[in-house]
Amino acid sequence: MYFELKNIGAIKLAKVELGKLTVICGENNRGKTYIAYSLYGFFSRLFSPWFQELADYFNSLPLKERLLTELTEKGVVSVDLRVFEQYRNEIMTHTGQLYTAKLKEVFSANADEFVAAEFICGIEKLIDDSVQYGKVGQYNNKAVFKALKNKNSPVLTITQSIDDKQSLNFFIQDILLDLLVFNHFPRPFILTAERAGIQQFQTELDKNRSDLITTLTNTRDLALLDEQVSRFALPLKDNIDFARKSSHVIKSNSFLKTEKPELTAYIEEMLGVQYDIIGGQKVVIDKTTHQALPYYMSSSSVRALSDLHLWLKHEANKGDILFIDEPELNLHPGNQIKIARLLVRLINNGLKVFITTHSDYIIKELNNLLMLAHDFPEKEALMNELGYTKDDVLHEDDLRAYIADEGTLFGVETDELGMIQSGFDKAIVQINETSDKMASAITHQ
């Protein structure tokens, strides 16, 4: 899948294709976060009323009406979904237009800022034959509509056992939305650059929320509600909401908890802590001293990674995409390297990852992991010596890397030694040259 962004914040025109791991580097104020927020907002609100007009669009298709008529008459219908391929560009164009109109809400900004904005989404193929799909429609707790598409087949079969044309119409509409739009895009989770502060001030945020509810109860001031809800950019608001619902999140387990439990414990082991909730309060237990501290008294690195730990352990589903704005935030260089390894292990175990970064340590470690994909003498012995596993191997085809600059994105090429450029090279060369000149001046005086 690919996306084009036009006139969105610092981005004038940029095209980004997502890989299993997508990395955007670049100097400050180059638009990296605008891209991350735009993509996250799109993925996170696909099932919301923002895209209700897509349902109306599908209802207007002659093919859809024929499906409904035949199913009503015969009780069963089979359709080769490839017949909808002719509508691919139209569907994606309409989807992008609907989202463009909502960008002001994603960024909680004045609509005038997005008058010339445009968000374009594209997919190479409308129907993915490899995906198996099934859906059941119920009435009075009984299955009355069924839809099935077998793996490696483009044919969808729908059956009905009740004569209810209106309900059947909604059922077909939902199926088409799933197969032709929603199933192409992953469910997202985001960690914004403000994540440590959210943990620090969550109590105050909750108090403000309680005061707001009291005011609304007494005044019914809907304008005040709209003003308060719109204060934060959507990704930041979602971060706050996730931090707020921690006690509910821990009641479920992610697929990683069962399939790769070591990944759900990775952050705790890296930081030497244990995250817990005691008496409704989030605490951090030091594994050395066994002392329990509330989040607001813990280190910034512990706070910055707490929600990632919770999500990986309790909410992540296979196929989800993880957005992290500055994964290096508040981390020692050694832990930045470990985070790079974690990200690659995640993509090798069913997740997608999108990061924006200023960390040369993360980029250099990703280059090391790219080199592991090549064959060379004594490879296994060297991997063992350096502590690498097969889950640390980053394949070139899984990576999409970009540098944000001049209002656009420049793709980064790779060779056998990794990414050819990172956006940090000039600064590194300059600081090394400065150090060499200073050292030379001192030692030769």
Return d(Cα 328, Cα 347) in angstroms, integer.
18
Q: How far is CA 294 from the centre of its chain?
A: 28
**What pLDDT score was predicted for residue 201?**
61
Low-confidence ranges of the chain (pLDDT < 50): 207, 210, 212-213, 215-217, 221-226, 229
Residues 6+ apart with CB under 8 A from 107: 9, 34, 37, 113, 114, 233, 234
Q: How many residues does the chain have?
A: 445
Q: Where are the beta strands (DSSP E) in 193-335?
A: 273-278, 281-286, 292-294, 321-325
Tell me whether strands 321-325 and 352-357 are parallel, antiparallel or unpaired. parallel
Identify the bridge partners of residue 77 per DSSP, sorted by sequence position.
158
**What pLDDT score was predicted for residue 196?**
77
**What pLDDT score was predicted for residue 204?**
56
**What pLDDT score was predicted for residue 138?**
81
Question: Residues 102-122: pLDDT tens digits?
Answer: 999 999 999 999 999 999 999
**What pLDDT score was predicted for residue 216?**
43
**What pLDDT score was predicted for residue 101?**
96
pTM of full prediction above 0.75: yes
Return d(Cα 333, Cα 26) in angstroms, integer.
19
Question: Cα-flanking dihedrals φ and ψ of residue 405, to 5°?
Answer: -165, 150
Residue located via tokens 């976060």: 33
**What pLDDT score was predicted for residue 61?**
85
**What pLDDT score was predicted for residue 225?**
43
Q: From 81, 170, 175, 199, select the one nearest 129 (Cα to Cα).
A: 81
